[in-house]
Amino acid sequence: MQLSDKKKLTITFSVMAVSIILLFVLLFNPQEKTAKTNNTAEEAQVPQKVSVTIRAVGDNLMHSPIFKSCKTENGYNFDDIYTDIIPYIEDVDIAAINQETIFVEATEAFSGYPSFGTPEEVGDSLVKSGFNLITHATNHTYDRGYNALMHTIEYWDSHKNVDVLGINETESEQQEVFVWEKDGLKIAMLNFTYGLNGYRLPADKPYLVNLLDRGELNKSLLQKAEEIADITVVFVHFGTEYTHTPTSEQKRDVEFLCENGADVIVGGHPHVIQPTAEHVSQNGNKAVVFYSLGNFVSNQSGLSKILGGMASVTITKENGVTKVESYEMLPTVTHASGGKYKAYMLSDYTDELAKKHTRAGGLTVEKLWETYNSVMEIVP
Protein backbone atom coordinates (compact mmCIF):
# COMPACT_ATOMS: atom_id res chain seq x y z
CA MET A 1 0.00 0.00 0.00
CA GLN A 2 1.46 3.39 -1.10
CA LEU A 3 1.22 6.64 0.89
CA SER A 4 -0.21 9.78 -0.70
CA ASP A 5 2.10 12.75 -1.28
CA LYS A 6 0.27 14.66 1.44
CA LYS A 7 0.88 11.94 4.06
CA LYS A 8 4.55 11.66 3.03
CA LEU A 9 4.98 15.41 3.49
CA THR A 10 3.31 15.31 6.91
CA ILE A 11 5.65 12.51 8.13
CA THR A 12 8.68 14.33 6.80
CA PHE A 13 7.81 17.53 8.66
CA SER A 14 7.11 15.54 11.86
CA VAL A 15 10.54 13.83 11.75
CA MET A 16 12.24 17.16 11.13
CA ALA A 17 10.39 18.79 14.02
CA VAL A 18 11.40 16.00 16.46
CA SER A 19 15.02 16.19 15.28
CA ILE A 20 15.14 19.94 15.83
CA ILE A 21 13.69 19.59 19.34
CA LEU A 22 16.26 16.89 20.25
CA LEU A 23 19.10 18.99 18.88
CA PHE A 24 17.91 21.99 20.90
CA VAL A 25 17.83 19.91 24.11
CA LEU A 26 21.34 18.57 23.53
CA LEU A 27 22.84 21.95 22.68
CA PHE A 28 21.06 24.18 25.15
CA ASN A 29 20.61 22.13 28.32
CA PRO A 30 22.10 24.69 30.72
CA GLN A 31 22.36 22.43 33.81
CA GLU A 32 24.51 19.72 32.21
CA LYS A 33 26.71 22.17 30.34
CA THR A 34 27.35 24.29 33.45
CA ALA A 35 28.27 21.25 35.54
CA LYS A 36 30.81 20.08 32.97
CA THR A 37 32.26 23.57 32.57
CA ASN A 38 32.60 24.10 36.33
CA ASN A 39 34.26 20.72 36.91
CA THR A 40 36.78 21.39 34.18
CA ALA A 41 37.56 24.84 35.59
CA GLU A 42 38.02 23.49 39.09
CA GLU A 43 40.35 20.75 37.90
CA ALA A 44 42.39 23.27 35.93
CA GLN A 45 42.62 25.89 38.68
CA VAL A 46 43.03 23.75 41.82
CA PRO A 47 45.76 21.06 41.69
CA GLN A 48 44.74 17.90 43.48
CA LYS A 49 47.17 17.33 46.38
CA VAL A 50 46.71 14.36 48.66
CA SER A 51 48.66 14.11 51.91
CA VAL A 52 49.01 11.07 54.21
CA THR A 53 50.78 11.02 57.56
CA ILE A 54 52.11 7.79 59.07
CA ARG A 55 53.33 7.54 62.64
CA ALA A 56 54.87 4.30 63.86
CA VAL A 57 56.24 3.28 67.24
CA GLY A 58 58.62 0.50 68.16
CA ASP A 59 58.40 -2.78 70.02
CA ASN A 60 55.40 -3.33 72.30
CA LEU A 61 57.20 -5.93 74.39
CA MET A 62 54.92 -7.37 77.07
CA HIS A 63 57.13 -8.74 79.83
CA SER A 64 55.28 -10.46 82.67
CA PRO A 65 55.72 -7.59 85.20
CA ILE A 66 53.81 -5.36 82.75
CA PHE A 67 50.77 -7.55 82.28
CA LYS A 68 50.73 -8.46 85.98
CA SER A 69 50.65 -4.75 86.83
CA CYS A 70 47.58 -4.34 84.61
CA LYS A 71 45.50 -7.09 86.24
CA THR A 72 42.09 -5.98 87.46
CA GLU A 73 39.20 -7.65 89.25
CA ASN A 74 37.62 -8.38 85.88
CA GLY A 75 40.69 -9.35 83.88
CA TYR A 76 43.32 -6.99 82.45
CA ASN A 77 43.33 -3.36 81.36
CA PHE A 78 46.32 -1.74 79.63
CA ASP A 79 44.66 1.57 78.73
CA ASP A 80 46.72 3.77 81.01
CA ILE A 81 50.00 2.74 79.38
CA TYR A 82 49.09 4.49 76.15
CA THR A 83 46.94 7.49 77.16
CA ASP A 84 49.73 10.09 76.86
CA ILE A 85 50.52 8.94 73.31
CA ILE A 86 46.96 9.39 72.03
CA PRO A 87 47.32 13.11 71.15
CA TYR A 88 50.22 12.23 68.84
CA ILE A 89 48.38 9.60 66.82
CA GLU A 90 44.69 10.47 67.00
CA ASP A 91 44.71 12.78 63.97
CA VAL A 92 47.14 10.91 61.69
CA ASP A 93 46.02 8.68 58.85
CA ILE A 94 48.01 5.60 59.86
CA ALA A 95 49.14 4.89 63.42
CA ALA A 96 51.31 1.77 63.51
CA ILE A 97 52.78 -0.27 66.33
CA ASN A 98 54.99 -3.33 66.36
CA GLN A 99 53.17 -5.86 68.53
CA GLU A 100 56.22 -7.88 69.46
CA THR A 101 54.44 -10.61 71.40
CA ILE A 102 51.68 -13.01 70.42
CA PHE A 103 48.25 -13.26 72.10
CA VAL A 104 47.16 -16.35 74.00
CA GLU A 105 43.71 -17.18 75.25
CA ALA A 106 44.17 -19.10 78.50
CA THR A 107 45.30 -17.21 81.59
CA GLU A 108 47.68 -20.02 82.53
CA ALA A 109 49.43 -19.51 79.18
CA PHE A 110 50.36 -15.90 79.90
CA SER A 111 54.12 -15.56 80.10
CA GLY A 112 57.06 -13.22 79.59
CA TYR A 113 60.63 -13.70 78.44
CA PRO A 114 61.86 -15.83 76.76
CA SER A 115 58.66 -17.37 75.33
CA PHE A 116 56.00 -14.69 75.40
CA GLY A 117 52.26 -15.20 75.72
CA THR A 118 50.27 -11.98 76.04
CA PRO A 119 46.69 -11.21 77.12
CA GLU A 120 44.59 -10.07 74.18
CA GLU A 121 43.42 -7.11 76.27
CA VAL A 122 46.65 -5.45 75.11
CA GLY A 123 45.05 -5.39 71.67
CA ASP A 124 41.89 -3.86 73.11
CA SER A 125 43.90 -0.96 74.53
CA LEU A 126 45.86 -0.44 71.32
CA VAL A 127 42.62 -0.15 69.35
CA LYS A 128 41.09 2.16 71.93
CA SER A 129 44.20 4.37 71.83
CA GLY A 130 43.92 4.79 68.07
CA PHE A 131 46.47 2.42 66.58
CA ASN A 132 45.06 1.13 63.29
CA LEU A 133 48.02 -0.76 61.82
CA ILE A 134 49.63 -3.66 63.67
CA THR A 135 52.90 -5.26 62.54
CA HIS A 136 53.21 -8.78 63.90
CA ALA A 137 56.19 -10.37 62.11
CA THR A 138 58.80 -10.55 64.89
CA ASN A 139 61.24 -13.08 66.30
CA HIS A 140 58.60 -13.88 68.96
CA THR A 141 55.65 -14.48 66.61
CA TYR A 142 55.87 -18.26 66.91
CA ASP A 143 56.84 -18.42 70.60
CA ARG A 144 53.62 -20.24 71.53
CA GLY A 145 53.14 -22.23 68.35
CA TYR A 146 50.40 -22.59 65.80
CA ASN A 147 47.36 -22.31 68.09
CA ALA A 148 48.47 -19.01 69.61
CA LEU A 149 49.17 -17.59 66.18
CA MET A 150 45.72 -18.63 64.95
CA HIS A 151 44.14 -17.13 68.06
CA THR A 152 45.92 -13.84 67.37
CA ILE A 153 44.73 -13.82 63.76
CA GLU A 154 41.16 -14.54 64.88
CA TYR A 155 41.38 -11.77 67.46
CA TRP A 156 42.39 -9.16 64.89
CA ASP A 157 39.83 -10.45 62.38
CA SER A 158 37.17 -9.26 64.81
CA HIS A 159 38.50 -5.69 64.62
CA LYS A 160 37.51 -4.53 61.15
CA ASN A 161 39.02 -1.04 61.50
CA VAL A 162 42.50 -2.38 62.22
CA ASP A 163 44.88 -3.78 59.60
CA VAL A 164 47.49 -6.41 60.47
CA LEU A 165 50.70 -7.19 58.63
CA GLY A 166 53.22 -10.02 58.76
CA ILE A 167 51.05 -13.00 59.74
CA ASN A 168 48.80 -15.02 57.46
CA GLU A 169 46.13 -17.66 57.81
CA THR A 170 46.54 -19.00 54.25
CA GLU A 171 49.13 -19.08 51.48
CA SER A 172 46.98 -16.83 49.29
CA GLU A 173 46.91 -14.21 52.07
CA GLN A 174 50.70 -14.16 52.16
CA GLN A 175 50.84 -13.53 48.43
CA GLU A 176 48.55 -10.50 48.72
CA VAL A 177 49.98 -7.03 49.20
CA PHE A 178 48.08 -4.77 51.55
CA VAL A 179 47.32 -1.37 50.00
CA TRP A 180 46.05 1.61 51.98
CA GLU A 181 44.35 4.22 49.82
CA LYS A 182 43.28 7.83 50.27
CA ASP A 183 41.86 9.93 47.43
CA GLY A 184 43.82 8.04 44.80
CA LEU A 185 47.11 7.87 46.75
CA LYS A 186 47.95 4.18 47.14
CA ILE A 187 50.46 3.03 49.76
CA ALA A 188 51.58 -0.62 49.73
CA MET A 189 52.71 -1.99 53.09
CA LEU A 190 54.72 -5.11 53.90
CA ASN A 191 56.14 -6.61 57.10
CA PHE A 192 59.01 -9.11 57.48
CA THR A 193 61.08 -10.61 60.30
CA TYR A 194 64.63 -11.92 60.07
CA GLY A 195 63.69 -15.10 61.99
CA LEU A 196 61.71 -16.81 64.76
CA ASN A 197 64.22 -17.44 67.57
CA GLY A 198 64.97 -20.92 66.26
CA TYR A 199 61.35 -22.00 65.99
CA ARG A 200 60.36 -23.53 62.66
CA LEU A 201 57.07 -23.05 60.91
CA PRO A 202 55.19 -26.25 59.96
CA ALA A 203 56.52 -27.71 56.70
CA ASP A 204 53.04 -27.50 55.17
CA LYS A 205 52.43 -23.95 56.46
CA PRO A 206 55.54 -21.86 55.65
CA TYR A 207 53.24 -18.93 54.87
CA LEU A 208 52.19 -18.26 58.49
CA VAL A 209 54.84 -15.58 59.09
CA ASN A 210 56.57 -13.34 56.55
CA LEU A 211 60.28 -14.11 56.79
CA LEU A 212 62.94 -11.82 55.37
CA ASP A 213 65.33 -13.93 53.31
CA ARG A 214 66.04 -11.74 50.27
CA GLY A 215 64.52 -14.56 48.21
CA GLU A 216 62.03 -14.85 45.39
CA LEU A 217 58.92 -14.48 47.57
CA ASN A 218 60.28 -11.24 49.06
CA LYS A 219 61.12 -9.98 45.57
CA SER A 220 57.73 -10.90 44.14
CA LEU A 221 55.86 -9.12 46.96
CA LEU A 222 57.98 -6.00 46.54
CA GLN A 223 57.50 -6.13 42.76
CA LYS A 224 53.75 -6.50 43.16
CA ALA A 225 53.72 -3.55 45.58
CA GLU A 226 55.60 -1.50 43.00
CA GLU A 227 53.04 -2.36 40.35
CA ILE A 228 49.83 -1.69 42.26
CA ALA A 229 50.74 1.26 44.50
CA ASP A 230 52.33 4.71 44.31
CA ILE A 231 54.74 4.12 47.17
CA THR A 232 55.89 1.17 49.29
CA VAL A 233 56.46 1.12 53.06
CA VAL A 234 58.22 -1.91 54.59
CA PHE A 235 58.24 -2.66 58.31
CA VAL A 236 61.13 -4.99 59.06
CA HIS A 237 62.29 -6.77 62.21
CA PHE A 238 66.08 -7.06 61.93
CA GLY A 239 69.48 -6.16 63.35
CA THR A 240 71.46 -7.01 66.48
CA GLU A 241 70.00 -6.39 69.90
CA TYR A 242 71.29 -3.53 72.06
CA THR A 243 73.50 -1.92 69.43
CA HIS A 244 72.87 1.64 68.21
CA THR A 245 74.88 1.18 65.01
CA PRO A 246 73.25 -0.73 62.13
CA THR A 247 75.05 -3.97 61.28
CA SER A 248 76.41 -5.00 57.90
CA GLU A 249 73.54 -7.51 57.68
CA GLN A 250 71.00 -4.74 58.21
CA LYS A 251 72.67 -2.70 55.49
CA ARG A 252 72.44 -5.64 53.08
CA ASP A 253 68.75 -6.03 53.93
CA VAL A 254 68.15 -2.31 53.39
CA GLU A 255 69.95 -2.47 50.03
CA PHE A 256 67.80 -5.44 48.99
CA LEU A 257 64.54 -3.79 50.05
CA CYS A 258 65.41 -0.44 48.49
CA GLU A 259 66.71 -2.00 45.28
CA ASN A 260 63.43 -3.85 44.88
CA GLY A 261 61.17 -0.84 45.42
CA ALA A 262 60.83 0.01 49.13
CA ASP A 263 60.50 3.79 49.56
CA VAL A 264 60.23 3.87 53.36
CA ILE A 265 61.79 1.24 55.66
CA VAL A 266 60.84 1.15 59.35
CA GLY A 267 62.95 -1.12 61.53
CA GLY A 268 62.63 -2.74 64.92
CA HIS A 269 64.14 -5.52 67.08
CA PRO A 270 67.41 -4.12 68.53
CA HIS A 271 65.46 -2.76 71.56
CA VAL A 272 67.43 0.47 71.28
CA ILE A 273 67.09 3.27 68.76
CA GLN A 274 69.27 3.47 65.67
CA PRO A 275 69.72 6.38 63.25
CA THR A 276 67.47 7.57 60.49
CA ALA A 277 68.99 8.06 57.05
CA GLU A 278 68.35 8.13 53.31
CA HIS A 279 69.65 5.15 51.36
CA VAL A 280 70.41 5.07 47.65
CA SER A 281 70.66 1.56 46.23
CA GLN A 282 73.06 0.48 43.51
CA ASN A 283 70.30 0.68 40.91
CA GLY A 284 69.50 4.27 41.88
CA ASN A 285 66.38 3.68 44.00
CA LYS A 286 66.01 5.79 47.13
CA ALA A 287 64.50 5.01 50.51
CA VAL A 288 64.05 6.73 53.86
CA VAL A 289 65.27 4.31 56.54
CA PHE A 290 64.48 4.25 60.25
CA TYR A 291 66.97 1.54 61.20
CA SER A 292 65.40 0.90 64.62
CA LEU A 293 62.63 2.54 66.64
CA GLY A 294 63.76 0.68 69.76
CA ASN A 295 61.33 -0.24 72.52
CA PHE A 296 57.98 1.46 72.87
CA VAL A 297 56.90 -0.41 76.00
CA SER A 298 58.99 -2.98 77.86
CA ASN A 299 60.37 -3.93 81.26
CA GLN A 300 63.97 -3.77 80.09
CA SER A 301 66.31 -1.66 82.19
CA GLY A 302 68.81 1.04 81.38
CA LEU A 303 68.59 4.39 79.65
CA SER A 304 69.14 3.03 76.13
CA LYS A 305 66.35 0.48 76.44
CA ILE A 306 63.72 2.85 77.79
CA LEU A 307 64.43 5.40 75.03
CA GLY A 308 62.38 4.68 71.90
CA GLY A 309 61.34 6.43 68.72
CA MET A 310 58.21 7.34 66.80
CA ALA A 311 58.70 7.49 63.04
CA SER A 312 56.71 10.31 61.48
CA VAL A 313 56.39 10.32 57.69
CA THR A 314 54.30 12.52 55.42
CA ILE A 315 53.66 11.24 51.90
CA THR A 316 52.07 13.40 49.21
CA LYS A 317 50.73 12.95 45.71
CA GLU A 318 50.25 15.93 43.42
CA ASN A 319 49.79 16.03 39.65
CA GLY A 320 50.57 12.33 39.49
CA VAL A 321 53.86 12.64 41.42
CA THR A 322 54.17 10.78 44.75
CA LYS A 323 56.97 11.51 47.20
CA VAL A 324 58.03 11.42 50.84
CA GLU A 325 57.55 15.08 51.65
CA SER A 326 58.97 14.99 55.18
CA TYR A 327 60.15 12.57 57.84
CA GLU A 328 61.59 12.60 61.36
CA MET A 329 61.99 10.44 64.43
CA LEU A 330 60.33 11.69 67.60
CA PRO A 331 61.82 10.18 70.81
CA THR A 332 59.64 8.29 73.29
CA VAL A 333 60.19 7.03 76.84
CA THR A 334 58.94 3.95 78.66
CA HIS A 335 58.32 5.06 82.23
CA ALA A 336 58.28 2.56 85.10
CA SER A 337 57.38 3.62 88.60
CA GLY A 338 55.40 2.21 91.50
CA GLY A 339 54.92 -1.06 89.65
CA LYS A 340 53.18 0.71 86.76
CA TYR A 341 54.26 1.41 83.18
CA LYS A 342 53.50 4.30 80.86
CA ALA A 343 54.67 5.52 77.45
CA TYR A 344 55.53 9.20 77.01
CA MET A 345 56.90 11.40 74.28
CA LEU A 346 60.30 12.64 75.44
CA SER A 347 59.10 16.19 74.75
CA ASP A 348 56.50 15.67 77.51
CA TYR A 349 58.77 13.84 79.95
CA THR A 350 60.01 15.63 83.07
CA ASP A 351 62.88 15.33 85.51
CA GLU A 352 60.32 14.80 88.24
CA LEU A 353 59.16 11.65 86.48
CA ALA A 354 62.73 10.63 85.68
CA LYS A 355 63.69 10.67 89.37
CA LYS A 356 60.95 8.13 90.08
CA HIS A 357 61.98 5.74 87.30
CA THR A 358 62.72 2.31 88.77
CA ARG A 359 64.37 0.77 85.68
CA ALA A 360 67.02 3.43 85.02
CA GLY A 361 69.04 4.95 87.85
CA GLY A 362 70.25 8.55 87.75
CA LEU A 363 67.94 9.29 84.84
CA THR A 364 67.43 12.85 83.63
CA VAL A 365 65.69 14.37 80.64
CA GLU A 366 69.01 15.86 79.54
CA LYS A 367 70.68 12.43 79.45
CA LEU A 368 67.84 11.05 77.36
CA TRP A 369 68.14 13.89 74.82
CA GLU A 370 71.93 13.50 74.74
CA THR A 371 71.61 9.81 73.92
CA TYR A 372 68.97 10.46 71.29
CA ASN A 373 71.02 13.19 69.60
CA SER A 374 74.22 11.13 69.63
CA VAL A 375 72.48 8.17 67.98
CA MET A 376 70.91 10.38 65.32
CA GLU A 377 74.43 11.55 64.39
CA ILE A 378 75.59 8.01 63.57
CA VAL A 379 76.18 7.53 59.85
CA PRO A 380 75.00 4.02 58.85
Q: pLDDT (tens digit, 9 = 90+) per residue, 269-311?
A: 999 999 999 999 999 999 999 999 999 999 999 999 999 999 9
Percent pLDDT > 90 in the chain is 87
Rounded distance, CA 195 to CA 205, Å?
Answer: 15
Q: How confident is the model at residue 170 (pLDDT cuts 50, 70, 90)?
A: very high
User: Which CATH superfamily, name and number, covers 51-376?
Assistant: Metallo-dependent phosphatases (3.60.21.10)
Inform me whether the pLDDT recorded for 124 exceeds 90: yes
Inform me whether the pLDDT recorded for 243 exceeds 70: yes
Inform me whether the pLDDT recorded for 82 exceeds 80: yes
353-376: average pLDDT: 98
User: Which helix or strand (DSSP H or E) is residue 349 part of?
Assistant: none
3-state helix, strand, coil in the chain (%, to 5): 35, 30, 35
58-78: average pLDDT: 97
Q: What pLDDT score was predicted for residue 17? A: 46
Rounded distance, CA 360 to CA 282, Å?
Answer: 42
Predicted TM-score (pTM) of this structure: 0.88
* Secondary structure (DSSP) of 227-259: HH-SEEEEEEE-S-TT-SSPPHHHHHHHHHHHH
How does pLDDT run across 304-324, given as a tens digit for each residue?
Answer: 999 999 999 999 999 999 999
Q: What pLDDT score was predicted for residue 47? A: 57
Q: Would you call 85 helix, strand, or coil by DSSP?
A: helix
Rounded distance, CA 274 to CA 51, Å?
Answer: 27
Rounded distance, CA 168 to CA 358, Å?
Answer: 38
What does pLDDT average to over the chain? Answer: 91
Inform me whether the pLDDT recorded for 1 exceeds 60: no
Inform me whether the pLDDT recorded for 44 exceeds 50: no
Inform me whether the pLDDT recorded for 18 exceeds 90: no
Q: Where exactly are the structural domains of the chain?
A: 51-376
CA pseudo-torsion sign 166, 169, 173, 174 = positive
Q: How confident is the model at residue 20 (pLDDT cuts 50, 70, 90)?
A: very low
Inform me whether the pLDDT recorded for 349 exceeds 90: yes
- Type of residue numbered 173: E
163-191: average pLDDT: 98
CA-to-CA dists, residue 5 to 8, 17, 254, angstroms: 5, 18, 87
